[in-house]
Amino acid sequence: MKPLLQVRDLQVTFDLGWHGRLIAVDGVSFDLAHGEFVALVGESGSGKSTTALALIRLVPPPGFISGGRLLWWGDGEGKPVELLQLSASQMRERRWRDIAMVFQGAQNALNPVMRIAEQMIETVRAHHPMPREEILDRAARCLRMVRLEPSRVLRAYPHELSGGMRQRVLIAMSLLMTPRLLILDEPTTALDVITQAHILEILREIQEQLGLTMLLLTHDLAVVAKTARRVLIMYAGQIVEEAPPETLFEIPYHPYTRGLLQAVPTLRGDLTGKRPIPGAPPDLRHPPPGCRFHPRCPYADEICRRVEPALEDVGSRRVACHHWQRVAQEAPAYKL
C-alpha cells in the first residue's frame, strides 16, 4: 500500500528545567498508508497523545520535537514533503486541510454560548475564507455523515446535545476541510458502551466512504478489535509491537500486549482471569536500563535488564522483545 505519512525515528523531549529532561517519544517509526485505519494503543502516559501532537506539530511547551522525520506523501508528487521542514505558517495551512485531529475530551471544549453552526463557520474561516452558505452546506453534509440531523444540531447549543452527540459534532467539524488524515484521541472515552459502539461504527463507515486514513488513539484494546486494520502498541514512549488485530489477538508476541489483552473485560467472558498489569509505567526522566518493560515483565531475565531490545520485523509484524518466541508459544488465544 502507498504511504500517506511515514514517521521516522520521531523523538519528543520535555525540558523540565531543574527536574531534568524527559523523552516522551523515543525513536518512534511507523507508516500510515492511504485509506488505512490504524490504532495506536497504550496506557495513559505511554506517549501516544504526544506522538499524535507531534504529527501536527502542536507539542505544547516545554515539549519540543527533538529528532526524526515526518514524510508526507499526500501531495501526490514523486517525493514527500518533510513536515518538520515547513515554516509555522505553512504547517498551519496543512492542519485541518491535510491532517485534522479530534483532541481527547474536546467535546467539553465546545464554546457553551455559541450555536454549533457558528462554531463550524468559525472553524472553517480560521483556515479558509469561504461564504457562510457554502460552509453551512458542508456542515450539513458532514453532520449527516455522523448520523446527526443538521436542522436540529446546527441551531443547538452544546449543552442541548448529549456527550455522544457532541463527540459526533466534533468528528463532523474535523471533516469540514476534507482532510486526508484524521487523528482521533480517545474518541469514545467517557461515553457509555452503546454510544462507543455507535461512534466506532460511524467512524468505520466514514473511513470507507471517504477513503480517509485514520489514526485512532486508545488505551482500550477492545475498541480496536473490530475497527482497525493494523495496531501499534506503545509503551514508555516506544513502539513495542505492531500487527494486524486478528494475529495480535490470536497470539500476542510482546508481554505488554499480552498484559493489555489479559486486562480487557468482555461481556461474555469469564472475569476471574482478568487482571491488570502489575506495577506502573516508568518515570521517563529515568527510564530503566535494558527493556523498559522489564520491572513489570514476568519473562524478564538478565539480558532484558541490560540490553534494550530492537523492534524487529517478524513476518507481517514487528516486535521489540528478546523472548517473543517463548511469549508467543505460551500465550493463550484471546477473544474480544
User: Using CB under 6 A as the criterion, which residues of the chain lie in contact with ligand SF4 when the complex forms?
Assistant: 254-255, 291, 293-294, 297, 299-300, 304, 309, 321-323
b/e for 61-82, b at 16 or more Cβ within 10 A?
A: eebebbebebbbbbeeeeebbe
Q: How many CA atoms within 13 Å lie on the side-chain side of 185?
A: 19
Using the minimum distance from each CB to ligand SF4, give the nearer residue, 132 or 305: 305
CA atoms of 154 and 182, how far apart (whole Å): 22
Give residue for cell 527510564: 287
C-alpha closest to that of 309 among 259, 241, 221, 252: 241
Distance of alpha carbon 221 from alpha carbon 204, whole angstroms = 16
Supply the minimum distance, in Å, between the C-beta of residue 209 and ligand SF4.
Answer: 39
**What is the closest distance, in whole angstroms, from the C-beta atom of residue 116 to ligand SF4 in the complex?**
46
Query: Minimum Å distance from CB 99 to ligand SF4?
Result: 32
Whole-number minimum distance, CB 237 to ligand SF4, in Å? Answer: 14
- CB of 108 or CB of 325, closer to ligand SF4: 325
Q: How far apart are CB 45 and ligand SF4 at their closest, in Å?
A: 18
CB of 44 to ligand SF4, least distance (A): 20
Nearest residue to 187 (alpha-carbon basis) of 103, 98, 95? 103
Q: Which amino acid appears at position 262 of this protein? A: Q
CB of 34 to ligand SF4, least distance (A): 33
Cell triple for residue 311?
523492534
Comparing CB distances to ligand SF4, the nearer of 65 and 297 is 297
- The secondary structure of 264-288 as a DSSP string is ---SSS-GGG--PPSS----TTSPP
Identity of the residue, 216 or 300, whose beta carbon is nearer to ligand SF4 in the bound complex? 300
| Helix ranges restricted to H, 22-162 | 48-55, 88-94, 116-125, 132-145, 150-153
Between 299 and 334, name the residue whose CB sits nearer to ligand SF4.
Answer: 299
Q: Are 33 and 1 in contact (CB under 8 A)?
A: yes
Of 191 and 304, CB closest to ligand SF4:
304
**Cell 519473562, residue located:** 299
Q: Which is nearer to ligand SF4, 202 or 331 (CB)?
A: 331
